[in-house]
Chains A and B, each alone.
Chain A
């Protein structure tokens, strides 16, 4: 938890009272503030109302905004994603919560074929200001169908924006920007970090999409990650520090648009880079970043780009298997040392 206080802009906004709040509250604040500002913002999804959200991210919102704007849906992701998209085409700004992004697959046609393409197909007559949000990635022993990291599937799609924050501060500021964005945004959270606390200033602030954040400065190697893996990456950096290696941790925060300059600036400084991702390696986002670095700033590299990914298998249930499949601290340290050799 200490890692949340490190680095970048995430420390404080001067003059504002800073509290320690969990990510679920940061998300609730972001949504509630935006709904107070703009009556066209509404929330729909499974359990978002009376139940206060499957992960309690919408606690109290039904009471404050009523059932016209905080809407419990049946289990029909394609249906309610489609309703949200249609409503967004008419100027509303729906926030569609997927209990997890695993279930977004039954709505993926609406997200990709409708939301992402409406603007192009209508030659700019339509825009779709919608935010799809929910948990993504593996948590503890959820089994194969509830542990997918799908952010790169959406990051592949022109027309979408894809946001993968880590800290409570970033979650709040980026969710507010996502809701205000006139394009469809997929916003990824994690079951494992909803309770994680960190400093969040009182009141209004936003973080622009497409801006990465250096979570820890360093000079020997750049470690790149996003979403909850940023915390693993900070642990890896601290462990390397104890071996006298200065590692920089770059939190991408947004996959699309991608802050390429931040990547190139950091790698130009350290000349070595390791990407840590929860995806499988083949055709992955990490592989794309590796391609970017290798083709655009090849001369800056002192070693081949390193990449740590999940093993190439659907996620089994048992703890002993899950822990070797996901990137671990040890595997990352070993990979970093390989890059540093």
Chain B
């Protein structure tokens, strides 16, 4: 196994984990406003899936977007500053937690209305095909998004028009606080692809190598044959839906059981087994340093100038 790759994946997952832990702390200190949806527990999904994309491929997701932003190469400083509503944030304090964008890295956000990004993703893929860019769009959505109309309209059009898009459902078992068995009639979620004559796949989200290999296959199918895929990744979030969630719908033991198979924990153990403990320690120190610098940067950055409050409403044609 490629040792450098293992270190890279470990570093990327750890970056998200530590970013989110610090965000949670800052939220409890009331330095972050609004909603804060943490990605803790799901890191292997974003990191694994995005690690098989090319730079010109496009990525879009919903409101639990910090992990995808970071995994796509977004700056932790600009991300943390955005959470604090600072002018140095990745969208200059206009978006907040739910609306991160980084178009230079082909990260298209950051959307707050459940399922709405599904047709948008088809539109990104439509443009890639129209312009013959040989690019692929990877669209993340939650298990809570598969029952709303735009999900079905987007899948239907993606299949009908043979668009190079991969839809990846991150099934973390809860649509906010409602467990899957109360929102979906089947345990298998990718089965919905059948109605749209679309390829489908199921992935163990705790296994970053399973994520990589199966997403890679789907991406190739999109790139080479303009065939979309619907993937269900079985994952789990350790924190509440948002910081406001008391999590009455599950026990501490439920979470602890899933943490036994934590992807960061498992990959860390693998590095130790491969006698790469020193390298692992170095990565952990580097990430700690990076995240502390991000927090410091965010705290020391200025808020946006109130005189710019109405900027970005229109573009001058």
Contact = CB atoms under 8 A, between A and B. Distances in A.
Physical interaction between A and B: yes
Interface of A: 42, 68, 73-74, 76, 78-92, 106, 109-110, 113-114, 119-127, 158-159, 161, 180-183
A122 B120 contact: no
A86 B122 contact: yes
B113 A109 contact: yes
A114 B101 CA distance: 13
Interface in B127-141: 127-128, 130-131
B302 interface: no
B92 A83 contact: no
Nearest to B304: A123
Given A83-B123, A86-B119, A123 B131 contact: no
A88 B123 contact: yes
Contacts of B92: 123
B123 A82 contact: yes
B14 interface: no
Interface string B101-134: 1110000111111001011111111111011000
A87 B313 contact: no
Given A90-B128, A120-B312, A121-B95, A180 B121 contact: no
Given A89-B124, A182-B317, A122 B91 contact: yes
Given A86-B124, A119-B313, A126 B160 contact: no
24 contacts: A76-B157, A79-B154, A79-B156, A81-B119, A83-B123, A84-B123, A85-B119, A86-B124, A89-B124, A90-B123, A90-B127, A110-B119, A110-B120, A114-B111, A114-B120, A120-B312, A122-B103, A123-B95, A125-B91, A126-B103, A127-B315, A159-B314, A182-B316, A182-B317
B153 interface: yes
A121 B124 contact: no
A161 B58 CA distance: 28
B216 interface: no
A73 B312 CA distance: 32
A183 B314 contact: yes
A78 B126 CA distance: 16
B109 A121 contact: yes
Contacts of A161: 314
A120 B311 CA distance: 7
Contacts of A68: 130
Interface of B: 58, 60, 90-92, 94-95, 99, 101-103, 108-113, 116, 118-128, 130-131, 149-150, 153-154, 156-157, 160, 311-317
A83 B119 contact: yes
B58 to A, nearest CB: 8
Nearest to A209: B317
A78 B153 contact: yes
Contacts of A181: 317
B109 A122 contact: yes
Given A87-B127, A88-B123, A123 B312 contact: yes
* 6 residue pairs, one from A and one from B, having the closest CB atoms: A86-B123, A82-B119, A79-B153, A90-B127, A122-B101, A86-B120
Nearest to B155: A79
Contact of A92 (B120, B130, B154, B157): B130
Contacts of B312: 119-120, 122-124
B212 to A, nearest CB: 26
Contacts of B103: 122, 125-126
B157 A109 contact: no
A89 B156 contact: no
Contacts of B120: 82-83, 85-86, 89, 110, 114
B131 A90 contact: yes
A177 to B, nearest CB: 8
A87 B121 CA distance: 9
Contact of A122 (B95, B131, B149, B316): B95
A121 B91 contact: yes
A116 B278 CA distance: 50
Nearest to A112: B113
B101 A82 contact: no
Contact of A86 (B91, B121, B311): B121
B198 to A, nearest CB: 14
Given A74-B160, A86-B121, A87-B130, A120 B313 contact: yes
Contacts of B91: 121-123, 125
B126 A87 contact: yes
Nearest to A208: B317
Q: Which of A83, A85, A109, A126 has most chain B Cβ within 10 Å?
A: A83
A248 B154 CA distance: 49
A161 B316 CA distance: 12
A158 to B, nearest CB: 5
A74 B119 CA distance: 13
A85 B109 CA distance: 14
B94 A86 contact: no
A87 B101 contact: no
Contacts of A74: 156-157, 160
A158 B109 CA distance: 20
B85 to A, nearest CB: 12
B315 A124 contact: yes
Given A76-B157, A90-B131, A109-B116, A121 B123 contact: no
